């Protein structure tokens, strides 16, 4: 290792344990005497639970207990919560139904847990769970959001009449009305955003134990935000007060949003560990993950764009119905509202926007934030509209976008957001150049000679990361603050530990965060360690989601570093009898400018702890904490260009070239940022081409394993060409914007725009399965022939 500061492609410090098999994930943990949990789950999408007979299961070998919802409610365990209050346009609060971790009365989606078995081995627990007899009375089910709103649809929660959770709006309806009245051209589309299953490769897991003597619980779990988990488990689920509950998220195998939430199973393990008097472990299998991990997306929208005679956008009108599934998950209400409609202005100067969003209960798995959360839905809608409008008015897609770009900052959109900085021409130009856009016609002709249909598509995305500031989101209904914390501890020997409230589950924080310290003090990154993921070790923090760890988490570290640096300089100045302002830090040393006087960082740290000779009144030690609450969102943006070849005989799409030009502001470690983009792109391409959670009309999930849910494989995707352009974010000390979700946000419309360009037909919904593309192309050909 070496001194590797901001901008270095530092190799990851955490890799060694993963490539040698020494990672420690929740399922790798073993506690003495632990039992294993298996859940009894509803096979029905909607049914009344009339009785549960556990007698046969209880008699089976190794079985400790069969616990049900009645016992859970009897023990005072609270309902699951939704952490963001949304009001309908008539001012009424959202209509939220109750959600219990084990349901005693009415199950509302296939896979909902009604009981749990604890036994000596996982196989015994599974055997016994299969032997629990549940008497169900089936009720009619509804899975489609539009059908759920129709009169006479099955009623899912008594609290939400007609299954409507809220009917929310944003923007100026009258202004939009006027824009459409005066439009020279209107582009209209129906747009569907398909339901996805997040599928981190590590399934969820929990290992809970209860210490009788201390009345203290410990939970190892697959969480993106252990402190939030502890808060919710304590304050809302009433499992234990916070100081009696330690939550540890060790190595976590991916999250993508799905490991933000505090699910029934994790909480039941905690509760059961006290009930049965032994540690309890549960590991989800993949089918359970499909049935119970929060799904993503699932929007149906009508969208209209109004243009004036110069092809400038004058108005955007959107009506969206969002399917939230059977229960309101933790952030479910914020995703289709403040994380979605506020981004509908895209990179464009649109004077009037109005969006109406209805959210709906259905008998499906709950839907919540999944990589991008609301922003992919907004981007897909807008960028398909943009491409379609360009084709309709006969402008090139790039020229039409250019004509409408925002060019002066700050820019206030009609939908809350105030863009602070950006250069959309720069990323568009960079992308077109890297994609050799000008050479496309020749490539298309060459492909045609091989019988292939070649198409090219653009997408110019913007996203908002690091949701903030806390006071602002609080006024919009958020139940928590969205700041982050950090503590920087310099040890007496000059090594550094950074405690962060962010959580790393693949993002490489142990490396990038260390680079900040390396940069600041000129220390070797090996002299720095990052501590995260344990509520006993780390001060309160908000965790990792919404591409916030850089812009928010690292800003908190920078604030703490500022304090450490100031104190270190004071000590050094005192020791070297120099003015504080003359002290410079360079290469691990504190020097007096213009002299050869210097002290090593270690000497200063040691002096802080021996405290033999500190400035008057200074406290010993060199350790500082900070809480950072951003002043605004950050706004990463960029242009993606996708080039495809479609096989007209099978409808199969091959992505032959994909360029991403992103503006993430300041980049700490380009290697890690590129990795984030690659991963995001493939999730977006997966959404565009392959992935879809599909239910039959009875609410059975037809895609409940990798046999039917198409995960992107290595041979489904190309290698990518990435380029970046940097405009600094003025809102945080490093100028960072966030990079974790961009790929998933920007890529789906680029892919679909390319396919529709190739086949000459626009009526394509995601995922663009080969059959759909084949059928569409055939009918387009038939029409053309007629």
Partner 1 sequence: MSKVSMVLNGKPVAADVEDRTLLVSFIREVRGLTGTHVGCDTSQCGACVVHVDGKAVKSCTMLAAQADGAEVVTLEGLASGGALHPVQAAFKENHGLQCGFCTPGMIMSAVDMINRHGAGNLDETTIRHELEGNICRCTGYHNIVKAIKAASDQMAGMAQAAE
Partner 2 sequence: MYETSYHRAGSLAEAAQLISNADDGKFLGGGQTLLPTMKQRLAAPSDIVDLTKIPELKGIREDGGSIVIGAATTHYEVASSALLKEKIPGLAALAGGIGDPAVRHMGTLGGSIANNDPAADYPSALVALNATVATSKRSLSAEDFFVGMFETALDDDEVVVSVSFPIAQKSAYSKYPNPASRYAMAGVFVARLGDGSVRVAVTGAGQNGVFRATAMEDALSGNWSPDAVAGIEVGADDMLHDIHGSADYRSNLVTVMAKRAVAATG
Q: Which residues bind partner 1 (CB under 8 A)?
A: 11-12, 14-25, 27-28, 30, 123, 199-203, 251-254, 256, 285-287, 505-508, 671-672, 674-675, 677-683, 705-707, 711, 713-715, 717, 719-720, 743
Q: How far is the CB of 702 from ligand FES (least distance, A)?
A: 20
Taking CB under 8 A as the binding criterion, the range among 376-384, 437-445, 596-604, 770-778 that sits at the site for partner 2 is: 770-778
- Cβ-Cβ contacts under 8 Å for 323 (sequence gap 6 or more): 144, 145, 148, 195, 298, 299, 300, 359, 360, 362, 364, 367
Q: How far is the CB of 642 from ligand FES (least distance, A)?
A: 23
Cβ atoms of residues 37 and 205 within 8 Å? no
- Using the minimum distance from each CB to partner 1, give the nearer residue, 117 or 677: 677
Query: Smallest Cα–Cα separation from 101: which of 58, 45, 43, 41?
Result: 41
Taking CB under 8 A as the binding criterion, the range among 291-299, 335-343, 379-387, 700-708 that sits at the site for partner 2 is: 700-708
Cβ atoms of residues 764 and 668 within 8 Å? no
What percent helix, strand, coil does the chain show, rounded to 5? Answer: 30, 25, 45
Per rule CB under 8 A, is residue 775 in the interface with partner 2?
yes
Question: Could you give the string, one character per residue 188-207, with x where binding to ligand FES holds by CB under 6 A and - elsewhere?
Answer: -------------x------
Q: How far is the CB of 282 from partner 2 (least distance, A)?
A: 18
Place of tokens 């400038």: 312
Q: How far is the CB of 448 from partner 2 (least distance, A)?
A: 18
Q: How far is the CB of 38 from ligand FES (least distance, A)?
A: 18
For residue 114, how many other CB atoms are within 10 A of its CB?
Answer: 22
- Using the minimum distance from each CB to partner 1, give the nearer residue, 27 or 266: 27
Cβ atoms of residues 557 and 500 within 8 Å? yes
Per rule CB under 8 A, is residue 707 in the interface with partner 2?
yes
Query: What are phi and psi for residue 288, nearest 5 degrees?
Result: -60, -40
Per rule CB under 8 A, is residue 595 in the interface with partner 2?
no
Query: What are phi and psi for residue 325, nearest 5 degrees?
Result: 80, -160
Q: Total binding residues for partner 2 by CB under 8 A?
A: 22
Place of tokens 């900052």: 409
For residue 271, how many other CB atoms are within 10 A of its CB?
Answer: 26
- Using the minimum distance from each CB to partner 1, give the nearer residue, 213 or 714: 714
Q: How far is the CB of 713 from partner 2 (least distance, A)?
A: 8
203 three-state secondary structure = coil
- Using the minimum distance from each CB to partner 1, give the nearer residue, 33 or 152: 33
Contact partner, 12, from partner 1, ligand FES, partner 2, none, Cβ < 5-8 Å per class: partner 1
DSSP lists the bridge partners of residue 497 as: 489, 529
Q: Is the dihedral of CA 507, 509, 512, 516 positive or negative?
A: positive
Q: Quote the CA–CA distance of 158 and 228 in Å, as a whole number.
A: 29
Q: Quote the CA–CA distance of 604 and 253 in Å, as a whole number.
A: 39
- Using the minimum distance from each CB to partner 2, give the nearer residue, 79 or 710: 710
Query: What are phi and psi for residue 134, nearest 5 degrees?
Result: -110, 130
Beta-sheet strands, E only, within 463-537:
484-490, 496-500, 528-531
Q: How far is the CB of 409 from partner 1 (least distance, A)?
A: 31
Query: What are phi and psi for residue 92, nearest 5 degrees?
Result: -80, 145
Per rule CB under 8 A, is residue 690 in the interface with partner 2?
yes
Q: Quote the CA–CA distance of 671 and 677 in Å, as a whole number.
A: 10
Per rule CB under 8 A, is residue 133 in the interface with partner 2?
no
Contact partner, 475, from partner 2, ligand FES, partner 1, none, Cβ < 5-8 Å per class: none
- Using the minimum distance from each CB to partner 2, give the nearer residue, 18 or 706: 706
Q: How far is the CB of 482 from partner 1 (least distance, A)?
A: 24
Per rule CB under 8 A, is residue 694 in the interface with partner 2?
yes
Cβ atoms of residues 23 and 17 within 8 Å? yes
Of 649, 697, 763, 783, the residue at the interface with partner 2 (CB under 8 A) is: 649
Please provide the DSSP assignment of 418-462 as one string: EE----HHHHHHHHHHHTTGGGHHHHHHHHHHTT-EEEEEEEEEE
Cβ atoms of residues 23 and 31 within 8 Å? no
Of 210, 513, 601, 774, the residue at the interface with partner 2 (CB under 8 A) is: 774
Of 23, 98, 154, 254, the residue at the interface with ligand FES (CB under 6 A) is: 254
- Using the minimum distance from each CB to partner 2, give the nearer residue, 698 or 710: 710
Q: How far is the CB of 424 from partner 2 (least distance, A)?
A: 35
Among residue numbers 280 through 299, which ones bind partner 2 (CB under 8 A)? 287
Query: What are phi and psi for residue 594, nearest 5 degrees?
Result: 75, 5
Per rule CB under 8 A, is residue 697 in the interface with partner 2?
no
Of 709, 736, 740, 745, the residue at the interface with partner 2 (CB under 8 A) is: 709
ω into 767 cis (within 30 of 0) = yes
Q: How far apart are the first and last CA of the chain?
A: 68
Cβ atoms of residues 81 and 98 within 8 Å? no
Query: Smallest Cα–Cα separation from 351: which of 182, 208, 541?
Result: 182
Per rule CB under 8 A, is residue 120 in the interface with partner 2?
no
- Using the minimum distance from each CB to partner 2, give the nearer residue, 45 or 486: 45
- Using the minimum distance from each CB to partner 2, give the nearer residue, 120 or 169: 120
Q: How far is the CB of 719 from partner 1 (least distance, A)?
A: 5
Per rule CB under 8 A, is residue 650 in the interface with partner 2?
yes
Per rule CB under 8 A, is residue 706 in the interface with partner 2?
yes
Q: What angle do CA 234, 236, 238 make, to 5 degrees?
A: 50
388 three-state secondary structure = helix
- Using the minimum distance from each CB to partner 1, give the nearer residue, 20 or 475: 20
Contact partner, 649, from ligand FES, partner 1, partner 2, none, Cβ < 5-8 Å per class: partner 2
Q: What angle do CA 577, 581, 586 make, to 5 degrees?
A: 90
Contact partner, 548, from partner 1, partner 2, ligand FES, none, Cβ < 5-8 Å per class: none
Q: How far is the CB of 35 from partner 2 (least distance, A)?
A: 19
Contact partner, 650, from partner 2, partner 1, ligand FES, none, Cβ < 5-8 Å per class: partner 2
Of 139, 178, 656, 711, the residue at the interface with partner 2 (CB under 8 A) is: 711
**In 32-159, where does DSSP find H-type helix?**
55-58, 69-74, 122-131, 145-149
* Residue 28 DSSP symbol: G
Cβ atoms of residues 216 and 186 within 8 Å? no
Residues, the chain: 786
- Using the minimum distance from each CB to partner 2, give the nearer residue, 155 or 769: 769
Contact partner, 675, from partner 1, partner 2, ligand FES, none, Cβ < 5-8 Å per class: partner 1
- Using the minimum distance from each CB to partner 2, give the nearer residue, 137 or 771: 771
Convert 409-439 to b/e letters by CB count within 10 Å (16 or more is b).
eebebbbbbebbbbbbebbbbbbbebbebee
- Using the minimum distance from each CB to ligand FES, give the nearer residue, 161 or 201: 201
- Using the minimum distance from each CB to ligand FES, give the nearer residue, 506 or 735: 506
Q: Quote the CA–CA distance of 497 and 495 in Å, as a whole number.
A: 7
Of 88, 470, 698, 710, the residue at the interface with partner 2 (CB under 8 A) is: 710
* Spatial strand order in the sheet of 528-531: 528-531, 496-500, 484-490, 623-628
Per rule CB under 6 A, is residue 675 in the interface with ligand FES?
no
Question: Could you give the string, one character per residue 500-539, with x where binding to ligand FES holds by CB under 6 A and - elsewhere?
Answer: ------x---------------------------------
Q: How far is the CB of 771 from partner 2 (least distance, A)?
A: 4
> Which chain residues interact with partner 2 by CB under 8 A?
123, 127, 130, 287, 649-650, 690, 694, 702-703, 706-711, 716, 769-771, 774-775
> Which chain residues interact with ligand FES by CB under 6 A?
201, 253-254, 506
């Amino acid at each position: 290792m070496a001194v590797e500061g901001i901008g270095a492609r530092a190799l990851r410090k955490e890799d060694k344990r993963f490539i040698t098999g020494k990672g420690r994930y929740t399922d790798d943990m073993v506690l003495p005497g632990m039992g294993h949990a298996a859940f009894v789950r509803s096979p029905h999408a909607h049914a009344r639970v009339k009785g549960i007979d556990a007698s046969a299961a209880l008699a089976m070998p190794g079985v400790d207990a069969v616990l049900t919802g009645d016992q859970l409610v009897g023990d005072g365990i609270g309902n699951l919560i939704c952490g963001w209050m949304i009001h309908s346009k008539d001012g009424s609060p959202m209509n939220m139904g109750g959600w219990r971790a084990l349901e005693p009365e009415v199950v509302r989606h296939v896979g909902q847990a009604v009981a749990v078995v604890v036994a000596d081995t996982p196989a015994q627990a599974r055997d016994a769970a299969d032997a629990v007899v549940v008497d169900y009375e089936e009720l009619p089910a509804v899975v489609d959001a539009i059908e759920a709103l129709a009169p006479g649809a099955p009623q899912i929660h008594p609290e939400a009449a007609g299954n409507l959770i809220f009917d929310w709006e944003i923007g100026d309806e009258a202004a939009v009305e006027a824009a459409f009245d005066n439009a020279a051209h209107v582009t209209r589309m129906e747009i569907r955003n398909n339901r996805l299953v997040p599928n981190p490769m590590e399934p969820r897991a929990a290992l809970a134990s209860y210490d009788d003597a201390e009345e203290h619980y410990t939970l190892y779990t697959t969480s993106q935000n252990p402190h939030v988990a502890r808060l919710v488990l304590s304050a809302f689920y009433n499992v234990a007060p916070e100081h009696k509950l330690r939550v540890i998220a060790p190595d976590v195998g991916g999250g993508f949003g799905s490991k933000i939430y505090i699910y029934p199973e994790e909480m039941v393990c905690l509760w059961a560990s006290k009930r049965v008097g032994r540690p309890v472990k549960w590991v989800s299998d993949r089918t359970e993950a499909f049935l119970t991990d929060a799904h993503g997306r699932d929007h149906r929208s009508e969208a209209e764009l109004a243009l004036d005679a110069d092809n400038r956008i004058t108005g955007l009108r959107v009506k969206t119905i969002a399917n939230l599934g059977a229960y309101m998950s933790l952030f479910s209400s914020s995703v289709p509202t403040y994380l979605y409609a506020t981004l509908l202005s895209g990179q464009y100067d649109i004077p009037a926007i109005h969006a109406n969003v209805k959210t709906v209960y259905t008998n499906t798995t709950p839907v919540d934030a999944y990589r991008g959360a609301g922003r992919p839905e907004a981007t897909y809608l807008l960028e398909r509209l943009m491409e379609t409008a360009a084709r309709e008015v006969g402008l090139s897609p790039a020229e039409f976008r250019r004509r409408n770009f925002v060019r002066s900052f700050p820019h206030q959109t009609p939908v809350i957001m105030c863009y602070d900085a950006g250069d959309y021409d720069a990323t568009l130009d960079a992308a077109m150049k890297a994609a050799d856009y000008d050479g496309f016609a020749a490539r298309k002709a060459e492909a045609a000679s091989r019988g292939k249909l070649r198409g090219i598509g653009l997408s110019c995305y913007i996203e908002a990361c690091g949701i903030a500031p806390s006071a602002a989101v609080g006024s919009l209904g958020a139940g928590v603050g969205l700041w982050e914390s950090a503590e920087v501890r310099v040890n007496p020997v000059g090594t550094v530990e950074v405690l962060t409230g962010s959580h790393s589950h693949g993002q490489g924080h142990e490396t990038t965060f260390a680079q900040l310290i390396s940069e600041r003090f000129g220390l070797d990154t090996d002299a720095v360690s990052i501590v995260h993921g344990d509520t006993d070790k780390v001060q309160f923090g908000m965790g990792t989601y919404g591409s916030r760890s850089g812009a928010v988490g690292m800003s908190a570290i920078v604030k703490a570093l500022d304090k450490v640096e100031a104190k270190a300089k004071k000590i050094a100045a005192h020791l070297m009898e120099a003015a504080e302002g003359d002290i410079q830090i360079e290469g691990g040393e504190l020097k007096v400018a213009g002299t050869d006087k210097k002290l090593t960082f270690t000497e200063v740290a040691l002096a802080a702890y021996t405290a033999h000779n500190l400035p008057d009144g200074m406290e010993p030690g060199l350790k500082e904490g900070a809480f950072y609450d951003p002043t605004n969102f950050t706004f990463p943006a960029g242009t993606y260009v996708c080039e495809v070849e479609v096989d007209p005989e099978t409808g199969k799409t091959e992505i032959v070239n994909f360029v991403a030009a992103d503006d993430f502001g300041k980049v700490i470690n380009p290697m890690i940022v590129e990795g984030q983009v690659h991963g995001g792109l493939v999730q977006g391409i997966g959404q565009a081409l392959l992935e879809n959670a599909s239910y039959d009309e009875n609410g059975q999930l037809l895609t409940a394993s990798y046999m039917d849910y198409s995960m992107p494989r290595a041979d489904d995707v190309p290698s990518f060409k990435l380029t970046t352009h940097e405009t600094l974010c003025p809102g945080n000390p490093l100028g960072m914007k966030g990079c974790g979700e961009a790929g998933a946000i920007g890529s789906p419309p680029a892919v679909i725009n390319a396919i529709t360009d190739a086949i000459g037909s626009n009526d394509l919904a995601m995922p663009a399965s080969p059959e759909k593309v084949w059928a569409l192309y055939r009918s387009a050909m038939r029409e053309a022939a007629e």
